[in-house]
């Protein structure tokens, strides 16, 4: 058996212990503290997926929201945002308005129902579309001559509480158009060619031929009034 001197034996044990401690420190499998990272000369390569040019580049999400798969981010200042595939929250696409649009309506002026020096006409809006829609509040109206020039001021609104009227296909809503009889009031008059009617919250109007004679357009007691829309085709 070969003889090993005590000094050489101690040296070998010390070297072996240092090697084992080095392995434990590199694996991070112990209670000791790892050595701080060392600086290595050279240029670091860019992180994967952090480029902004080239095919398949990934850009950082803009501030104001992160878009998850199957969703649409809400942009700052938007009143509502459609969310695709959002069945979990139950929101779905933005709700479609139920308001009746001008293109879905027909207008007419009903028979005069005079009383106590007052002329009273129902202005009727009928749903001609294939869907149910709603009207709410006051219609707009104005008398015009054959060239389309307005006669007299806009009608005034009589006090009333606007309600939402639901119109199934073929159903109607009406508003009262009233004014003092010019022969009683002494107002200046004109004979309109038509009454133009604008449904609530719409810009386009409907034209109704006017066949009821003279209307007040100026002077004493010349105001024309409109009431809120109610269900039906007249009182």
In whole angstroms, what is the distance from residue 91 CA to residue 80 CA? Answer: 11
What is the structure's pLDDT at 53?
35
Residue 56 maps to a domain: no
Alpha-carbon distances, residue 131 vs 97, 99, 127, 169, 204 (angstroms) = 12, 11, 8, 6, 19
Higher pLDDT, 18 or 165: 165
CA distance 127 to 102: 9
The answer to whether residue 152 sits within a structural domain is yes
Residue 132 to residue 98: CA distance in whole angstroms: 8
Q: For residue 10, is it within any domain?
A: no
pLDDT at 6 over 80: no
- Within a domain: residue 114? yes
Question: Which residue range forms the structural domain that includes residue 205?
Answer: 102-231
Please enumerate in sequence order all residues whose Cβ is within 8 A of that of 31, keeping only pairs 6 or more positions apart, or say none.
none
The answer to whether the beta carbons of residues 133 and 127 sit under 8 Å apart is yes
Indicate whether 112 belongs to any domain.
yes
173 within 8 A of 165, measured Cβ to Cβ: yes
Residue 109 lies in a domain: yes
Domain for residue 86, yes or no?
no
CB 123 within 8 A of CB 107: yes
Tens digit of pLDDT for each residue in 38-92? 444 444 443 333 333 333 333 333 333 333 333 333 333 333 322 233 333 333 2
Model confidence over 131-141: pLDDT tens digits? Answer: 999 999 999 99
Question: How many domains are contained in the chain?
Answer: 1
Summarised one tens digit per residue, pLDDT across range 174-200 is 999 999 998 888 899 999 999 999 999
- Report the candidate in 207, 197, 227, 208 with the shortest Cα–Cα distance to residue 100: 197
CATH of the domain at 162: 2.60.40
DSSP state of 198: E
Evaluate whether residue 200 is within a structural domain.
Answer: yes
């Amino acid at each position: 058996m070969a003889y090993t001197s005590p000094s050489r034996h101690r040296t070998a044990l010390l070297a072996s212990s240092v090697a084992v401690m080095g392995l434990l420190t590199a694996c991070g499998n112990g209670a000791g503290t790892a050595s701080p990272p060392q600086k290595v000369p050279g240029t670091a390569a860019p992180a994967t997926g952090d480029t902004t040019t080239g095919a398949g580049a990934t850009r950082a999400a803009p501030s104001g929201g992160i878009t998850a798969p199957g969703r649409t981010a809400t942009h700052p200042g938007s009143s509502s945002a459609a969310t695709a595939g959002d069945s979990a929250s139950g929101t779905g696409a933005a709700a479609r308005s139920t308001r009746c649009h001008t293109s879905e309506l027909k207008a007419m002026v009903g028979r005069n129902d005079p009383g106590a020096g007052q002329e009273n006409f129902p202005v009727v809006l009928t749903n001609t579309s294939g869907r149910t829609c709603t009207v709410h509040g006051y219609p707009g109206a104005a008398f015009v001559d054959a060239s389309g020039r307005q006669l007299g001021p806009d009608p005034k609104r009589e006090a009333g509480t606007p309600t939402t009227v639901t119109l199934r296909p073929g159903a109607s809503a009406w508003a009262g158009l009233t004014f003092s009889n010019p022969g009683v009031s002494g107002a200046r008059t004109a004979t309109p060619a038509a009454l133009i009617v604008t449904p609530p919250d719409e810009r386009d109007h409907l034209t109704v031929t006017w066949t009821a004679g003279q209307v007040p357009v100026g002077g004493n007691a010349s105001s024309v009034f409109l009431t809120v829309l109610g269900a039906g085709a007249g009182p």
